[in-house]
Amino acid sequence: MRLRFAYQDGVVWLRTGERPSAPDASGVRRRTKSERETDWLRNLEHDPHARVRIADAELPALYEPSADPAVDLRRAVELLREKYGPEWVADWYLEMGRIPVKLRLGA
């Protein structure tokens, strides 16, 4: 899977979004938190050890859950804007349900 990422001080920063809640046949069902998270984030929460492939390099990494998701999300979006430009990283990257993901390389 290809993801946009930013790198700073040994950490790969990513941003994911929750899957939108989908109604059932009655139109009222709301998904639980775990049902809204992306599969790769749930996998990291279950086992924080990961491998990150950037170009031809494959590096070990460790998922670090955020102590302050709002602060980490702003940091991730700031770094993504620096890398990809504001025309590619719009304000909706900060909307409710966006989740910052930190992967520390070399772990």
All domains in the chain, ordered by first residue: 6-105 (2.30.110)
- What was the pLDDT predicted at 65? 93
> Which of 1, 18, 20 has its CA nearest to residue 99?
18
Global pTM reads 0.74
Q: What is the mean pLDDT of residues 60-74?
A: 93
Asked if 10 and 103 count as a contact pair (C-beta separation under 8 A), the reply is: no
| pLDDT over 80 (residue 46) | yes
Q: How confident is the model at residue 40 (pLDDT cuts 50, 70, 90)?
A: confident
Q: Which residue has the higher pLDDT, 53 or 92?
A: 53
| pLDDT over 70 (residue 33) | no
Cα–Cα distance, 59 to 104 (Å, whole number): 10
Q: How confident is the model at residue 60 (pLDDT cuts 50, 70, 90)?
A: very high
> Which of 68, 58, 60, 52 has its CA nearest to residue 14?
52
Cα–Cα distance, 30 to 72 (Å, whole number): 27
- What was the pLDDT predicted at 24? 57
Query: Please, what is the average pLDDT of the chain?
Result: 81
